Structure 1
Amino acid sequence: MRRLPWVRRIAAVASLGDEKRRQLFELVTASDQAVGRDDAALALGLPRSTASFHLDRLVEDGMLAVEFHKPAEKAGPGSGRPAKMYRPAVHEVGASVPDRNYDLAGELMATAIEDSVAAGRPVRESLLAASYGTGRAMAAGSGSLEVFLSAEGYQPEPDGKGGFVLVNCPFHRLSDGHPAVVCAMNGAFLSGAAAGCGESEERVAKNSAPGQCCARITPP
């Protein structure tokens, strides 16, 4: 499942700062079935109106999703309207300022290690292949490379020449400590993303500007 956009993740984390909202989110995510307003209110000792308000706010913030079910104990004509029920839209959410994506880095590295062990190939080779393939799959259907880069936290800005500089590095702390590994991983991921968007992989070039991503996007 793709993560929520950065602004919505920030809003979601802020939303869970409310104790009642956090308790309701934990209640719904712990249930193996969708939870109704009455059951949620009863479980937490809240007025129904209070539970409804906070549940709907969690829906607005992208944490919960709504579905409707007729009460199981009622059937036939006159059995009433379907009840509004809540289920998790996400099971966890994380946000950082500036936007980082260490979960993606961990997934790429774990995939590479598994492939390396199974195929007996060098870890670096597996990492580049996993990064390229993931970037291509994730970017497919994005509409444009710029749209994809924005969604993934790179903060592309026009360079005045028809290309883009990437103001933010989603793997910043890792790249500081392990630049040879992480920058190669990032370059392969971006090359795959370019291919997934129907762009030339040659548009991804190295960038040495301080405070920016180690890659930039050259003009088409």
Structure 2
Amino acid sequence: MPEESFSRRVTKLGSLADPVRRALYRFVTEQPDAVSRDQAADGVDVPRHTAKHHLDRLVDEGLLVTEFRRLTGRSGPGAGRPSKLYRRAEDEVEVSLPHRRYDLAGAVLADAVGRSLAGEPIADAVRAAALEAGSRVAAEAPHHDRRASELARVGEVLARHGYEPRVSDELVLANCPFDRIAAEHTEVVCGMNQAFVEGVVERLGCHGLEAALDPGDPWCCVKVRPRAEA
């Protein structure tokens, strides 16, 4: 699935700036089961209509979800209408500046561990897992403008994953989404990074480009550049 947009994630978190809304969200998420509007209102000591307004706003922003259930446990005629209940949404909401993708790094490395346990050398396993991940995100990206340059098409995909591409005669990646772990495990993470970007390039069919390690700048250690002619 395409990554949720940065602006959408910021909007979600911004909805918690209101103290009443934040208190209601915290109350709902701390309960073992979904709660009604009245339960939430009583829990944070606000009027029912105020609770309803803020709870529904949290639903609109994707932070809470609703379900309908009879709280009495009865069914059939005379059991009454089901109550609207609120509970926390399963999706995680996270914002970081600069953009980081430690979830992506974790998924690649977990795949690599599985391959290694099956007998593949660990370095080969990391490269294969990263290539596959890069190919997958390129395949899942929205339709690409075939009129755009190869560098622009690769940059469009990498931008969705936090690389902050700068296009000129080559593609410079101004941000490393794996910065913190790259600082501690440089060789492993930079190799993974190169293979991931290579997977994107290959999946897009940009055969005139290569993902090259070029450490030394304050930016990502990988650059995408035209292949040298033989």
* TM-score for the superposition, normalised by structure 2: 0.71
SS in 2 for 1:184: helix
Question: C-alpha displacement at 1:149, in angstroms?
Answer: 1.4
After superposition, the C-alpha distances for 1:113-145 in whole angstroms (9 at most, x for unaligned) are: 2331x3122222211111121222222131343
Contact 2:100/2:176 (CA < 8 Å) preserved in 1?
Answer: yes
Q: After superposition, where does 1:125-164 map in structure 2 within 5 Å?
A: 125-143=124-142, 144=144, 145-159=154-168, 161=169, 163-164=170-171
Instruction: Please list every run of 5 or more consecutive structure 1 residues that lacks an aligned counterpart in the other structure.
Output: none
Instruction: Please list every run of 5 or more consecutive structure 2 residues that lacks an aligned counterpart in the other structure.
Output: 145-153
- Between the aligned partners of 2:167 and 2:5, the Cα distance in structure 1 is 21
Match of residue 206 from structure 1: 213
Question: C-alpha displacement at 1:154, in angstroms?
Answer: 0.8
- Between the aligned partners of 1:96 and 1:167, the Cα distance in structure 2 is 15
- Between the aligned partners of 1:196 and 1:35, the Cα distance in structure 2 is 47
Contact 1:138/1:196 (CA < 8 Å) preserved in 2?
Answer: no
Q: After superposition, where does 1:178-217 map in structure 2 within 5 Å?
A: 178-200=185-207, 202-208=209-215, 210-217=217-224
Q: CA 1:90/1:208 → structure 2, altered by over 3 Å: closer, same or farther?
A: same
SS in 2 for 1:98: coil
Q: CA 1:105/1:33 → structure 2, altered by over 3 Å: closer, same or farther?
A: same
Question: C-alpha displacement at 1:97, in angstroms?
Answer: 1.5
The Cα RMSD (Å) is 3.5
Q: CA 1:56/1:157 → structure 2, altered by over 3 Å: closer, same or farther?
A: farther
Question: C-alpha displacement at 1:157, in angstroms?
Answer: 1.9
After superposition, the C-alpha distances for 1:183-203 in whole angstroms (9 at most, x for unaligned) are: 111111122223344434843
Q: CA 1:141/1:111 → structure 2, altered by over 3 Å: closer, same or farther?
A: closer
- Between the aligned partners of 1:165 and 1:48, the Cα distance in structure 2 is 54
Contact 2:181/2:189 (CA < 8 Å) preserved in 1?
Answer: yes
Query: 2:199 corresponds to which letter in structure 1?
Result: G
**Identity percentage of aligned residues:** 38
Question: C-alpha displacement at 1:152, in angstroms?
Answer: 0.9
Say which one has the larger Rg: 2
Which segment is superposed worse, 54-63 or 29-38?
A: 29-38
Question: Number of aligned pairs?
Answer: 213
Query: 1:53 corresponds to which letter in structure 2?
Result: H
* TM-score for the superposition, normalised by structure 1: 0.74
Contact 1:64/1:87 (CA < 8 Å) preserved in 2?
Answer: yes
Q: CA 1:207/1:48 → structure 2, altered by over 3 Å: closer, same or farther?
A: farther
- Between the aligned partners of 1:201 and 1:84, the Cα distance in structure 2 is 57
SS in 2 for 1:99: coil
Match of residue 175 from structure 1: 182
Q: After superposition, where does 1:1-220 map in structure 2 within 5 Å?
A: 3-29=3-29, 37-65=37-65, 86=86, 88-116=88-116, 118-143=117-142, 144=144, 145-159=154-168, 161=169, 163-200=170-207, 202-208=209-215, 210-218=217-225
